[in-house]
């Protein structure tokens, strides 16, 4: 990123300007050779904020894996870069309309970090994907589509827009009578917490009901800085949810997931979704088995407050939507008695008939 006006040190814009975008600039040993990772970032851009970098000790630790390029991004065998058919469910560029009552509005193509497992790997970091024109066309579509009650601002990351730009967008959405609820999907509080300024928060506070769902994938992402950023949002009366992506070698471990969900609750964040990673080209090395996700869900149940249990979601290829998967607990029925697996795997009978 470059800009004519230098920003004061410590501001979020200064942090973005000094974000690492080239693998050589990193101090720790690379996974793969220098040519390898260079070819990866030529295809899929790299960006890591100095703050997030300070939390990484090694290239392939749970935080490093999420944002540092890996040659496997170019060698996997997944054929599709848009398996969810987002492009086909896009009535105007930059807007995805899959469910009758809500739309996904891509308001920015930039993110504070570029996650290597991103489902929109095909789009993020490309400045031509979201423009003033696509935003205008999307607003027009939302205005004339009266079945839409909720707008989910996504991207890219909506919180990378200038505060005034985002304010203007939210104002325009708020002027549409059939729009009841606004929601922002962001990773910013966990990767660029300095962006959560008083100015931003007081602006967001003017657009209620506004929900913010924040991506957190590992307990090490919860630091004094990210905790403070989330507290500011919660203090402004913004209901907070989390989205976590199940990632091999990052959080595919019940103990890690339990710690993450417990910590999220202490930040006043209600865990919302645990996403099974989508089969997107370039992300195959992050995929685990569904059985692994179901087993994590089983471990969470009973070990973590019910408030801290997200729904485990798969997004069906071909545009079938997000569907929750639940560990099977009903084993069968015998003479009106259900056989149900209880805590710790013991089987109990339950009267299934009235
Ligand atoms: C995920 C998603 C939404 C939001 O779905 P919720 O289940 O309400 O969180 C909306 N539109 C599209 C296209 C999506 O992929
Ligand atoms: S912040 Fe979200 S949209 Fe941006 S790269 Fe990460 S997963 Fe993709």
- Which residues, in sequence order, are CB contacts of 62 under 8 Å at separation 6+? 217, 218, 220, 249, 250, 251, 256
| Domain range enclosing 157 | 77-325
Contact present, 157 and 190 (Cβ < 8 Å) = no
Q: How confident is the model at residue 3 (pLDDT cuts 50, 70, 90)?
A: very low
Residue 233 lies in a domain: yes
| Number of domain units in the chain | 1
pLDDT of residue 6: 59
Burial class (CB in 10 A: 0-12, 13-18, 19+), 57: exposed
pLDDT digits (tens, 9 = 90+) for 22-55: 998 888 887 777 778 999 999 999 999 999 999 9
CATH number for the domain harbouring residue 292 = 3.20.20.70
Six token digits for residue 89:
């469910």
Residue 151 lies in a domain: yes
Residue 276 lies in a domain: yes
DSSP labels for 285-340? GG---HHHHHHHHHHHBTTB-GGG--EEEEEETTTTEEEEE----EEEEETTEEEE
pLDDT digits (tens, 9 = 90+) for 323-345: 999 999 999 998 899 999 988 88
Residue with CA closest to ligand 1 atom 7: 322
The residue to mutate among 157, 184, 246, 278, having the most atoms of ligand 2 within 8 angstroms of its beta carbon, is 157
Contact present, 1 and 19 (Cβ < 8 Å) = yes
Residue 33 lies in a domain: no
At which residue do the structure tokens 């505060």 appear?
163
Residue 47 lies in a domain: no
Residue 290 lies in a domain: yes
At which residue do the structure tokens 């009903």 appear?
330
Question: Pairing mode, if any, of strands 337-341 and 330-334?
Answer: antiparallel
- Which residues, in sequence order, are CB contacts of 123 under 8 Å at separation 6+? 106, 109, 129, 156
| Portion of the chain with pLDDT greater than 70, in percent | 97
**How many A from CA of 32 to the centre of ligand 1?**
36
Contact present, 209 and 219 (Cβ < 8 Å) = no
pLDDT of residue 247: 98
- The three-point CA angle 118-259-218 to 5° equals 20
Q: Output the ligand 1 site: residues, CB below 6 A.
A: 96, 98-99, 102, 104, 152, 322
pLDDT of residue 33: 74
Q: Decide if 278 is catalytic.
A: yes
Contact present, 75 and 283 (Cβ < 8 Å) = no
pLDDT digits (tens, 9 = 90+) for 53-73: 999 999 999 999 999 999 999
Six token digits for residue 127:
């400045």
Residue 222 lies in a domain: yes
DSSP conformation class of 25: G
- Give the number of C-alpha atoms closer than 13 A to the C-alpha of residue 4, restricted to the C-beta side: 0
pLDDT at 2 over 60: no
**How many A from CA of 115 to the centre of ligand 2?**
5
Q: Decide if 118 is catalytic.
A: yes
Sign of CA pseudo-dihedral 60, 63, 68, 69:
positive
Residue 12 lies in a domain: no
pLDDT of residue 9: 67
Query: If you average pLDDT over residues 273-299, what whole number do you get?
Result: 96
Q: Which helix (H) or strand (E) holds 150?
A: strand 150-154
Query: If you average pLDDT over residues 107-133, what whole number do you get?
Result: 94
- With a 6 Å cutoff on the Cβ, whether 155 touches ligand 2 is yes
- With a 6 Å cutoff on the Cβ, whether 114 touches ligand 2 is yes
pTM of the complete model beyond 0.75: yes
């Amino acid at each position: 990123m470059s800009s004519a006006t230098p920003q004061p040190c410590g501001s979020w814009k200064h942090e973005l300007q000094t974000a690492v975008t080239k693998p050589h600039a990193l101090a720790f040993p690379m996974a793969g050779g220098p040519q390898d990772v260079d070819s990866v970032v030529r295809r899929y851009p790299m960006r890591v904020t100095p703050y997030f970098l300070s939390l990484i000790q090694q290239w392939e630790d749970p935080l490093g894996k999420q944002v540092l390029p890996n040659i496997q991004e170019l060698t996997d065998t997944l054929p599709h870069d848009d398996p969810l058919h987002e492009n086909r469910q896009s009535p105007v560029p930059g807007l995805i309309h899959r469910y009758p009552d809500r739309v996904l509005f891509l308001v920015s193509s930039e993110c504070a970090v570029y996650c290597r497992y991103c489902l929109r790997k095909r789009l993020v970091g490309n400045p031509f994907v979201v423009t003033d024109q696509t935003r205008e066309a999307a607003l027009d579509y939302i205005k004339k589509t009266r079945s839409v009650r909720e707008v989910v601002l996504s991207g890219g990351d909506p919180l990378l827009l200038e505060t005034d730009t985002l304010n203007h967008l939210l104002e325009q959405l708020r002027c549409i009578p059939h729009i009841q609820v606004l929601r922002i999907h962001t990773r910013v509080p966990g990767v660029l917490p300095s962006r959560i300024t008083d100015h931003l928060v007081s602006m967001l506070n003017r657009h209620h009901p506004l929900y913010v769902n924040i991506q957190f994938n590992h307990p090490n992402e919860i630091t004094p800085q990210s905790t403070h950023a989330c507290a500011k949002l919660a203090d402004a009366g913004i209901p907070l949810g989390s989205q976590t992506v199940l990632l091999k070698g990052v959080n595919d471990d019940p103990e890690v997931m339990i710690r993450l969900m417990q910590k999220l609750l202490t930040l006043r964040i209600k865990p919302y979704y645990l996403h099974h990673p989508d089969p997107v080209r370039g992300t195959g090395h992050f995929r685990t088995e569904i059985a692994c996700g179901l087993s994590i869900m089983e471990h969470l149940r009973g070990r973590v407050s019910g408030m801290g249990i997200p729904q485990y979601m798969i997004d069906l290829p071909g545009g079938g939507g997000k569907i929750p998967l639940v560990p099977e607990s009903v084993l069968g029925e015998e003479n009106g008695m259900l056989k149900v697996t209880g805590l710790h795997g013991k089987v109990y009978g339950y009267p299934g008939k009235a």
